């Protein structure tokens, strides 16, 4: 694996006021919060990380956790998540941005890093890349990669509330923008390793506390779920929230 590129920045969004499971990113498992597990897993990418949260006092605990993990924070509007990413880009001046979300406590930093390297090899600043264009990874291992210039273009041009809330919709919906899918070698898209509802939390706690999931990479996590369909069934019924 090549040396980290200091011009690549991972930005992860986090807030306490999730509608389906409030405070989810600070729910504990194995003596640490889900946000701490998320940030620790991202550290395996070797890339710098910024937490983009809101200016609300309710999100002060997120700032405290990030600071404890020695991760930089930017704070902006709760509804304008795209604006928060714009703040991170203007403050830290990367050439490439990776978007992830903090409800992915078992995200695989090595998978993110490999996706970034694939994106950089193309060398097109207009390119939008993701491992979700045609889903093969479990939910909870998602990432997107694009240039800082493209993000700032979206921040300046996007006016639809959905585009402001979901960050990359303006880029994704651009029919002229080149797109790169970053698939896995198999289809594990039926599995959920994301944290959105109580049954997701139940599964993630079991995986972390009883099955050593923090030591497993993406392949190891999928192998575990393959071998234990009873675990995968705990949240298999959950409908993914739109967006």
pLDDT for 243 equals: 55
Residue 66 and residue 155 in contact, taking contact as beta carbons nearer than 8 Å = no
pLDDT digits (tens, 9 = 90+) for 61-101: 999 999 999 999 999 999 999 999 999 999 999 999 999 99
Q: At what angle do helices 81-92 and 148-157 cross, to 10 degrees?
A: 140
pLDDT digits (tens, 9 = 90+) for 21-44: 999 999 999 999 999 999 999 999
Report whether pLDDT(241) > 90.
no
pLDDT for 239 equals: 83
Which of the four pLDDT bands, split at 50, 70 and 90, describes residue 1?
Answer: very low
Report whether pLDDT(49) > 80.
yes
Sketch out the chain's domains with CATH numbers. 8-232 (3.90.550.10)
Taking Cα atoms as reference points, which of 83, 43, 75 lies closest to residue 59?
75
Instruction: Tell me phi and psi for residue 48, to 5 degrees.
Output: -70, 150
């Amino acid at each position: 694996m090549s040396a980290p590129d200091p011009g690549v920045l991972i930005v992860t969004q986090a807030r306490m006021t999730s509608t389906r499971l409030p405070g989810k990113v600070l729910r504990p498992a194995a003596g640490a919060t889900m946000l701490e597990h998320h940030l620790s897993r991202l550290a395996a990418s070797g890339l710098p990380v910024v937490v983009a949260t809101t200016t609300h006092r309710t999100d002060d605990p997120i700032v405290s956790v990030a600071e404890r993990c020695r991760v930089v924070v930017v704070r902006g509007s709760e509804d304008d998540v795209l604006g928060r990413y714009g703040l991170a880009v203007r403050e830290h001046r990367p050439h490439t941005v990776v978007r992830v979300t903090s409800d992915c406590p078992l995200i695989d930093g090595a998978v993110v890093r490999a996706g970034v390297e694939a994106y950089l090899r193309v060398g097109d600043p207009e390119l939008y890349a993701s491992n979700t264009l045609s889903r093969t990874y479990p939910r909870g291992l998602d990432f997107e990669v694009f240039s800082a210039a493209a993000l700032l273009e979206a921040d300046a041009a996007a006016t639809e509330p959905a585009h402001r809330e979901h960050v990359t919709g303006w880029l994704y919906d651009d029919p002229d923008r080149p797109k790169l899918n970053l698939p896995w070698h198999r289809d594990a898209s039926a599995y959920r390793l994301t944290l959105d509802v109580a049954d997701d939390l139940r599964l993630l706690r079991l995986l972390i506390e009883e099955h050593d999931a923090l030591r497993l990479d993406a392949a190891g996590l999928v192998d575990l779920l393959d071998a234990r369909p009873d675990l995968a069934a705990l949240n298999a019924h959950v409908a993914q929230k739109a967006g």
